[in-house]
Amino acid sequence: MKYEDAIKKYDPVIGIEVHVELGTATKMFDAAPNTFGGGPNTNITPTSLGLPGSLPVVNEKGVEYAIKIGLALGCEIAETCRFARKNYFYPDVPKDFQTSQSDEPIAAEGSVEVELEDGTMFTIPVERAHMEEDAGKNTHIGGATGRIHGADHSLVDYNRAGVTLVEIVTHPITGTGERAAEVASTYVRTLRDIFRALDVSEARMEQGNVRADVNVSLRESPDAPLGTRTETKNVNSFRSIERAVRYEIARQATRLEAGETIVQETRHFHEGTGETSSGRPKSDADDYRYFPEPDLVPLVPSREWVEELRATLPELPAQKRRRLAGVWGFSDLEMRDIVNAGLLEAIEETVNAGAKPAAARKWWTGEVARLANQKDQPTAELVTPAQVAALIGLINDGKLNDKLAKDVLTAVADGEGEPAEVMSARNLEIVEDTGALEAAVDEAIAANPDVVEKIKGGKMQAIGALMGPIMKATRGQADAGKAKDLILAKING
Ligand SMILES: Nc1ncnc2c1ncn2[C@@H]1O[C@H](COP(=O)(O)OP(=O)(O)OP(=O)(O)O)[C@@H](O)[C@H]1O
Ligand SMILES: [Mg+2]
Ligand SMILES: [Mg+2]
């Protein structure tokens, strides 16, 4: 069944689990450095490997970051919580269990407001945010790719084992209808922005700092009980999240139409084809034999600490957007365009550097965005907010008009220097020198007697015919208003 038909016939329900790697200096339960990359099995200690005699110690920064995330999502922070062993046998966990939290997470029951590109809002109910450690990385060589069975041999890198993670789990998200895929990706994007605002993670999707497990089920109607879900694991780009949801909706609908049932299982998403494929069956009763981690004492975050952290929470992206819209006087639509283009921070910094909001918006969403598109480079790599503010300053001082400013901007983006330097070096400044302007006007008048006659006869539009040669002679640097005044003064004596 095609996606378009599936989404008309069935009501999709989604559930998202987001794993975020925290930017702590060391791992969650040991002193190994928490850094990306490095040679295989170099960022490890006996505790990362769970060697006999090693003991875990909770990373205080990790707890602080988890509390901040919980608070930012409007969760209750537990008065007391515990770590648990999630037991499973796979070579990515050297201890045969992952230290996680089960029925006593540090944060529970919050929500996240998500705004789609067209302004439609959804409230995503958050069930929990809990602390855990990441697993290591397996690479299966030879045989069927991605399968441990059939591979000739497997390699394991424990650098990531023990890395500080927080997992945020939503309740089943209903009522999204045909917007399900967009809601899923926008929710993860919103979380990414929150992590960055909180400064708890670099939150780089492409480095796997943020990964989403995407659960999808279908039901006949919004009143029907929830259908059986599949869980597509470790999807790590916004676009892939959308594609995975759409694919699953179409795939599940096809099965249901054929009278088949949905198997509750994990699935893998394939970038190349946009398809998901079956992983392993996984029932809700899957027995991880959770039990309290005996090597760690219960964690009791003091209320003073929690309130201290609450008081230092930065302004979150959604609040900031609302506040700036008010201060700048932009419409909802203008604000959304700015946010969707990822230009909010740049414009804010440009305004902080002295530019008027309207001018900052005009240059970033206009010429800078055009150049970025042309060069296929992010706007942030082309010019800095300070440079755009300087450019706007030169326009306000009457040294540049818009056309000249565009030339200056292009040169700045090409790395030729700061706006004022480029303007002087390329001699782009508006001709202030009335002598040069006058000479150009005289020349144009002398060369076009017929036009002059028309102007004398009252045909003011004819002035335009003189502006071309004047602009040419001054290389576009003439102030058009001044040139016109001069022409009239000379002709009418
Ligand atoms: N019928 C359903 N349709 C869609 N989503 C569902 C459905 N039932 C549960 N979910 C969602 O699936 C997710 C389950 O995540 P959770 O972490 O609780 O369990 P899990 O996936 O079994 O465990 P693990 O952390 O080991 O992957 C939640 O976001 C939940 O809201
Ligand atoms: Mg989970
Ligand atoms: Mg899961």
- In this predicted structure, what is the pLDDT of residue 490? 86
pLDDT beneath 70, residues of the chain: 143-150, 285-286, 432-433, 493
- Check if the beta carbon of residue 270 is closer than 8 Å to that of residue 277: yes
Interatomic CA distance for residues 235 and 215, integer angstroms: 11
- In this predicted structure, what is the pLDDT of residue 392? 97
DSSP code, position 482: H
How far, in Å, from the CA of 218 to the mean position of ligand 2? 20
Catalogue the long-range contacts made by 46-52 (C-beta closer than 8 Å, 24 or more residues apart). Answer: 47/162, 48/94, 48/158, 48/161, 48/162, 49/94, 49/95, 49/158, 49/161, 50/94, 50/95, 50/96
User: Among 11, 17, 261, which residue has the most ligand 1 atoms within 8 Å of its CB, making it the best to mutate?
Assistant: 17
- In this predicted structure, what is the pLDDT of residue 217? 98
For the Cβ of 215 lying below 6 angstroms from any atom of ligand 1, the answer is yes
Atom from ligand 1 closest to the CA of residue 226: 1
User: Among 215, 230, 235, 261, which residue has the most ligand 1 atoms within 8 Å of its CB, making it the best to mutate?
Assistant: 215
- Judged by DSSP in three states, 225 sits in coil
Strands 265-270 and 275-281: antiparallel
How far, in Å, from the CA of 226 to the mean position of ligand 2? 18
- In this predicted structure, what is the pLDDT of residue 221? 96
H helix intervals, 341-384:
344-352, 357-363, 369-375, 379-382
The residue nearest atom 20 of ligand 1, judged by CA position, is 284
For the Cβ of 445 lying below 6 angstroms from any atom of ligand 1, the answer is no
How far, in Å, from the CA of 114 to the mean position of ligand 3? 21
- In this predicted structure, what is the pLDDT of residue 263? 95
How far, in Å, from the CA of 213 to the mean position of ligand 2? 8
- In this predicted structure, what is the pLDDT of residue 38? 87
The residue nearest atom 29 of ligand 1, judged by CA position, is 15
- In this predicted structure, what is the pLDDT of residue 491? 84
How far, in Å, from the CA of 103 to the mean position of ligand 1? 14
- In this predicted structure, what is the pLDDT of residue 438? 87
For the Cβ of 14 lying below 6 angstroms from any atom of ligand 1, the answer is yes
H helix intervals, 53-110:
60-72
Burial of 123 (0-12, 13-18, 19+ CB in 10 A): exposed
Q: Spell out the domains of the chain, with CATH numbers in brackets.
A: 3-310 (no CATH), 315-425 (no CATH), 434-491 (1.10.10.410)
How far, in Å, from the CA of 290 to the mean position of ligand 2? 13
- In this predicted structure, what is the pLDDT of residue 398? 87
CB count within 10 Å of CB 197 equals 18
Residues 40-72: tens digit of each pLDDT: 999 999 999 999 999 999 999 999 999 999 999
Could you give the ipTM of this predicted complex? 0.98
- In this predicted structure, what is the pLDDT of residue 285? 64
Instruction: Give the ligand with the smallest distance to the CA of 125.
Output: 1
- In this predicted structure, what is the pLDDT of residue 489? 86
For the Cβ of 13 lying below 6 angstroms from any atom of ligand 1, the answer is yes
Which residues crowd ion ligand 3, with CB under 5 Å? Answer: 17, 213
Interatomic CA distance for residues 356 and 395, integer angstroms: 12
How far, in Å, from the CA of 212 to the mean position of ligand 3? 9
460: phi then psi, degrees, rounded to nearest 5: -65, -30
- Check if the beta carbon of residue 476 is closer than 8 Å to that of residue 447: no
Interatomic CA distance for residues 481 and 192, integer angstroms: 49
- In this predicted structure, what is the pLDDT of residue 432? 67
For the Cβ of 165 lying below 6 angstroms from any atom of ligand 1, the answer is no
Q: What residues pair up with 108 in beta bridges, in sequence order?
A: 76, 128
